[in-house]
Chain A
C-alpha cells in the first residue's frame, strides 16, 4: 500500500531523514519507535506532503502511484489520513462543520460516531479550542473515522492522555484499522484478519497504545534512518526498555 524508497527530507537547512526505506502492505499495522528528534514526525509529515518537510531525494508510492509531488489534499483524497500530535486550533470553525466538509456529506451518522468517543457535546465547539489533551486526541480519532482513510498515520496517539482515554482511543484505532471496533463481532478473528485492508503506521514513545492495538511490525528511527526494521513491536519495545536507543547505533554501523 505504501512504499518509501531512499527518502531524504530536510526541515529548514537541516537534513532529518537520510535514506528511509519502508514498505507497508494492506492490512498491516506498523509501529515506529525512536528517540525525541529522530525524525518520526518528519516521516509522517513527508508522507502527507506538508510544506515544511522538503523531500530532497527518494520516492513515496501509495497504491503503486508515485505521490512524492502531490499536494496534501490529493494525498488525503487517495486515502491517507493522519492524527496530529498537536493539531492547531481553528477559531470559529465548529467540529461538526469540519466533519461535514471533510466527508462532503457522505457520513450522516456523525453523532453516532461521536457518541462512543464522548464527543457529542463537542460537535458545536470550535475545533480544538480549549480541548484537553485527551479531548484533542479523541477529536482527531473522530475526524479520521469520518474520513475513513485506507492508510492511517498516528502521531503519538496516547501522549498527554490518561488511561481511560487511551482505551477509548485504542478502540477507535481498532475500528479504523478494521481490527475489533465498537461494532458487533460476527466474524472470527481469522476471517477479520484476512479481510483487513486498512493499514496503519503508529508513532509511540511509551508503547502504552500497544496494550490496546495489536501491531504487526516494529521499526526504530534513529539518526534519520530506520534500524531494527521488521521485528515484533513488543519485542522491540522490551529491547529499547532494557538497552536504550544507544543499542541502535550497532545495527546502523
Chain B
C-alpha cells in the first residue's frame, strides 16, 4: 500500500496545482537539525512564546485539552489534558494504530498536485488529533506548526478525527520565528467528522513577508455531523493558495466556513472554501470577510448541491482600505439536480463615506470611525464558537489588529 502510494506521488511530483504559479522549491531548503523535546513549554524562549501566542497558541496550556508543537521538522511537545482526546505526532500515530492507514490519504488524494506528492515523499511529521466516541471536550486542543529557520520548507501531514458523537475544538496556529523572513509551509490536513460529531477547526496564520503557503485540506462529514471552520490571516505573507473542501456525505450534515483575510502590501492570498452537499438535508454556509491594505485577495467560494433539498449560502464581503490592492470575489454555485437551494451575496468596495460620517457626527474622529467600522466588519461573533473559544479567537484577532491594522 505504501509502495503504491509512493509510486503515485512520484508521478505527481510535477503536477500543476490549480490557481497558482508553481512555487520554485529550490528557493527553500528542507535540511534542519533536530530540536530537543520539551516537557514544559514555558522553557521556550520568550520570543517563541510570543510568536505562538499571536497564532492563538498558549504555552501555559491553561484551559486546553491538549497541545502539539512542531518546530521545523521536530515535534518538540505533545500533551493531553483531557482523557477523551488523543494528541500525537502523525508518525507516532501511524506506528500505534494500524487502522490509521485507512484514513491516510483518504480525504486528500496523494497525487492531487505537486504539493501533496512532495508531502508524501519528503514531508516530516504533522499531528494526529482525535476525540474518542461520545467525548465532549470542553477545552480546545491547540496545535502549532512553527518555522524557526530562515528559508526552511516545512511540510506536514495532519489527521483529525472526531469520532461518533464527540465534540472537539481545535486551534491550529501556524507561524514563523520573529527573525525568520522567508520559508515555505505545505500542510496536508485530512479531517473526519463522524456520525453526530461536532468539530470546530480554527486556523490562525501568522506568517512572515516572504513565506509561501500551500495548505491542502479536505473534510468528510458523516450523518448529523457538524464542521465549523474558521480561518484567520491578517499578517503579511508572500503567497497563500488554498481551497479547503468539505464533503457532506451523510444525512443532515452541516458545514460552515468563516474566513477573515487581510491583504497586506505585497501579499497575495488566493483563498477559497468549497462544500459539496451530497447527503439528504445537508446544509452549508460560507462567510468571507476580506480587507486589503494594498495586497491582492482572491476570494473563492463554491457550493455544489448533488441531492434535492440541500441548502447552502455563500456570503462574501470585501473592503478596500487602500488605493492599491485588489479584491477579486469569485462565488460559484453549482446545482447538479433539481430542488437544491443555493444562494450567494457578494459586495466589494470601500467603506461607505456615509457610515464614517455617521460615526463622526457622534463625536468620533475619522480614524476612530474607520477603526470601528473595520472591527465590526471583522467581527467574529457569528462564528458559532463556544463563548470561551470565541473570546480566544477574538483575542487573537485583536493581537493581529493591533500589530497590523
Q: Please report A residues at the B interface, Cβ cutoff 8 Å.
A: 48, 50-52, 71-73, 76-77, 81-82, 84, 87-88, 90-93, 97-98, 101-104, 126, 143, 147
B376 touches A88 (CB 8 A): no
A102 touches B363 (CB 8 A): yes
In-complex Cβ contact of B376 among A71, A77, A90 (8 A):
A90
**Which residues of chain A come closer than 8 Å to B375, judged between CB atoms?**
92-93
A92 touches B360 (CB 8 A): no
Chain B proximity of A111: nearest CB distance (Å): 19
**Which residues of chain A come closer than 8 Å to B360, judged between CB atoms?**
71-73, 76
Whether B46 is near chain A, meaning CB under 8 Å from some CB there, is no
Nearest-CB residue, chain A, relative to B317: A91
Nearest-CB residue, chain B, relative to A144: B362
**Which residues of chain B come closer than 8 Å to A73, judged between CB atoms?**
360-361, 363-366, 369
Whether B150 is near chain A, meaning CB under 8 Å from some CB there, is no
**Which residues of chain A come closer than 8 Å to B364, judged between CB atoms?**
73, 101-102
Whether B109 is near chain A, meaning CB under 8 Å from some CB there, is no
Nearest-CB residue, chain B, relative to A146: B362
**Which residues of chain B come closer than 8 Å to A91, judged between CB atoms?**
376-377, 379
Whether B354 is near chain A, meaning CB under 8 Å from some CB there, is yes
Q: Cα distance A48–B381 when bound, in Å?
A: 33
**Which residues of chain B come closer than 8 Å to A48, judged between CB atoms?**
357, 361
A-B contacts besides A72-B357, A73-B365, A92-B375, 6 pairs, CB < 8 Å: A48-B357, A51-B357, A73-B360, A81-B362, A88-B358, A92-B379
**1/0 contact trace for B321-362 toward A, CB 8 Å?**
000000000000000000000000000000011110111111
Q: Cα distance A71–B366 when bound, in Å?
A: 9
Q: A91-B377, A92-B381, A93-B373 are in contact. Are A147 and B363 (CB under 8 A)?
A: yes
Nearest-CB residue, chain A, relative to B356: A72
Q: Cα distance A171–B341 when bound, in Å?
A: 47
Q: Cα distance A77–B369 when bound, in Å?
A: 14
A92 touches B359 (CB 8 A): no
Nearest-CB residue, chain A, relative to B382: A92
Closest 9 CB pairs of A and B: A92-B376, A92-B379, A93-B376, A72-B360, A102-B362, A73-B360, A76-B363, A88-B355, A88-B354
Chain A proximity of B321: nearest CB distance (Å): 15
**Which residues of chain A come closer than 8 Å to B352, judged between CB atoms?**
88
Q: A88-B355, A92-B378, A143-B362 are in contact. Are A101 and B373 (CB under 8 A)?
A: no
In-complex Cβ contact of B358 among A71, A77, A84, A92 (8 A):
A84
Of B355, B359, B373, chain A has the most CB atoms within 10 Å of the CB of B359
Nearest-CB residue, chain B, relative to A72: B360
Whether B372 is near chain A, meaning CB under 8 Å from some CB there, is yes
In the assembled complex, 30 residue pairs joining A and B whose CB atoms fall closer than 8 Å, in A order, are A50-B357, A50-B361, A51-B353, A52-B353, A71-B360, A71-B366, A73-B369, A77-B363, A81-B361, A82-B361, A88-B354, A90-B358, A90-B359, A90-B372, A91-B379, A92-B378, A92-B379, A93-B372, A93-B376, A97-B372, A98-B372, A101-B362, A101-B364, A101-B372, A102-B359, A102-B364, A103-B363, A104-B363, A143-B362, A147-B363
Q: Cα distance A102–B365 when bound, in Å?
A: 10
Q: A92-B376, A92-B378, A93-B376 are in contact. Are A87 and B362 (CB under 8 A)?
A: no
**Which residues of chain B come closer than 8 Å to A76, judged between CB atoms?**
360-363
In-complex Cβ contact of B362 among A52, A71, A98, A126 (8 A):
A98
Whether B368 is near chain A, meaning CB under 8 Å from some CB there, is yes
A72 touches B355 (CB 8 A): no
**Which residues of chain B come closer than 8 Å to A51, judged between CB atoms?**
353, 357
Chain A proximity of B350: nearest CB distance (Å): 13
Nearest-CB residue, chain A, relative to B352: A88
**Those of B368-390 within 8 Å (CB) of chain A:** 368-369, 372-373, 375-379, 381
Nearest-CB residue, chain B, relative to A104: B363
**Which residues of chain A come closer than 8 Å to B369, judged between CB atoms?**
73
**Which residues of chain A come closer than 8 Å to B379, judged between CB atoms?**
91-93
Q: Cα distance A103–B372 when bound, in Å?
A: 14
Q: Cα distance A230–B358 when bound, in Å?
A: 31
**Which residues of chain B come closer than 8 Å to A92, judged between CB atoms?**
375-379, 381
**Which residues of chain B come closer than 8 Å to A126, judged between CB atoms?**
376
Chain B proximity of A153: nearest CB distance (Å): 9
Of B355, B361, B366, B376, chain A has the most CB atoms within 10 Å of the CB of B361
Nearest-CB residue, chain A, relative to B376: A92
Q: Cα distance A16–B86 when bound, in Å?
A: 71
**Which residues of chain A come closer than 8 Å to B363, judged between CB atoms?**
73, 76-77, 102-104, 147
Nearest-CB residue, chain A, relative to B358: A88
Q: Cα distance A93–B355 when bound, in Å?
A: 11
Nearest-CB residue, chain B, relative to A89: B355
Q: Cα distance A48–B358 when bound, in Å?
A: 10
Q: Cα distance A154–B344 when bound, in Å?
A: 37
Q: Cα distance A50–B360 when bound, in Å?
A: 9
Q: Cα distance A101–B371 when bound, in Å?
A: 11
